[in-house]
Structure 1
Amino acid sequence: MDLKDIQNLIKFVAKSGASEVKLETDDIKITIKTGSENERGETTYIQQIPTMQAQPNIQQPQVQEANGANQSSTQEDADSKLITIKSPIIGTFYRKPSPDKPVFVEVGSTINIGDVLCVIEAMKLFNEIESEISGKIVKVLIDDSSPVEFDQPLFLVDPS
């Protein structure tokens, strides 16, 4: 919506006799209030609605020893066999079903298809995230009670 359209809308609202009009689209929100007889003119509020941007994933630096070349190639071979379980939704990641219960899975836990790995809270709903593969948990990539984005890696699993 450009400035000319907004001006035409203001004129239309003023002529119609309406005291307040609100218009909201994907990226802009407009509220037009016309004054009463005690007030002059009209008041227009234009607000840009912020879009949510994905937070960059912060990767931890890896410490390598003096024979780093051999270690890194071995590490790459091991990582290529691992499967990453990613978040299917945006929300808050929890490793436990409730604060007084034990965690669903630990590093070294053996999992099967359908096992609950964690809970992600979205809009006051707690969604159990179930495993779609069988294997062994190698690493938990997210801290408990941390916000997660869609498709953010949560666990590394060794399927063998």
Structure 2
Amino acid sequence: MKAKELQELLDFIAKSGLNKVNIETEEFKISVQRDPNTKQVVSMAPVAAAAPAPAAVPVPATPAAAAATTAAAAPAEAPAGNYRPLKAPMIGTFYRSSGPDSPAFVQVGDVVEKGQVICIIEAMKLFNEIEAEESGRVVKALVENATPVEYDQPLFLIE
């Protein structure tokens, strides 16, 4: 992996708000971990046992990346009242149904039970069924179909 590609990857991770990322290919293994209040720590080691592992390289977290993450989450806050948000457990692309011709898993006004599939989030070409963490009636869908979502972003409001 070239230095420019590594820097682009680190910039993407910083903007995503993730605190820990592990990437492993046949050529290399990268582990990025940061404390959200301080800095990022990056270590990169070749997969082949013959080559020595490079030392960890500290990369400072930019205040702009933290502000961008906070700003991205702010508009999706739930309104006051007895509505509770059903939140995204991961980052990825949000889908309301299993396919373009399939009906949505839930509609506004539907009653959902704990453990019921409410949507799909695609992350790294894997389609993850997202289940309701609690029961209730869907009051509002907060995310449009086929749009990116962040970790812990409210997807639906239930009462």
- 1:103 match: secondary structure: coil
What do residues 49-88 of structure 1 show as CA deviations (whole Å, max 9, x unaligned)?
A: 998763613638xxxxxxxxxxxxxxx7xx4211111110
- 1:56 match: secondary structure: helix
The amino acid across from 1:94 in the alignment is Y
- 1:80 match: secondary structure: coil
Match of 1:157 in 2: 158
In the alignment, the residues of structure 2 paired with residue 144 and residue 25 of structure 1 have an alpha-carbon distance, to the nearest angstrom, of: 32
Match of 2:133 in 1: 132
Match of 1:45 in 2: none
In the alignment, the residues of structure 1 paired with residue 128 and residue 113 of structure 2 have an alpha-carbon distance, to the nearest angstrom, of: 18
Match of 1:57 in 2: 73
In the alignment, the residues of structure 2 paired with residue 116 and residue 57 of structure 1 have an alpha-carbon distance, to the nearest angstrom, of: 24
CA distance change for structure 1 residues 112 and 28 in 2, over 3 Å: closer, same or farther? closer
In the alignment, the residues of structure 1 paired with residue 60 and residue 105 of structure 2 have an alpha-carbon distance, to the nearest angstrom, of: 38
CA distance change for structure 1 residues 97 and 49 in 2, over 3 Å: closer, same or farther? farther
In the alignment, the residues of structure 1 paired with residue 87 and residue 31 of structure 2 have an alpha-carbon distance, to the nearest angstrom, of: 32
Higher-Rg structure is: 1
In the alignment, the residues of structure 2 paired with residue 155 and residue 136 of structure 1 have an alpha-carbon distance, to the nearest angstrom, of: 10
In the alignment, the residues of structure 1 paired with residue 61 and residue 125 of structure 2 have an alpha-carbon distance, to the nearest angstrom, of: 22
Residue 110 of structure 1, CA deviation = 0.9
Contact 1:29 1:49 (8 Å CA) reproduced:
no
In the alignment, the residues of structure 2 paired with residue 81 and residue 106 of structure 1 have an alpha-carbon distance, to the nearest angstrom, of: 19
In the alignment, the residues of structure 1 paired with residue 31 and residue 122 of structure 2 have an alpha-carbon distance, to the nearest angstrom, of: 28
Q: Runs (4+) of structure 1 moved beyond 2 Å?
A: 24-30, 48-55, 57-60
The runs of 5 or more residues in structure 1 that have no matched partner are 1-21, 31-47, 61-75
Contact 1:28 1:49 (8 Å CA) reproduced:
no
Provide the aligned length of Structure 1 versus Structure 2.
104
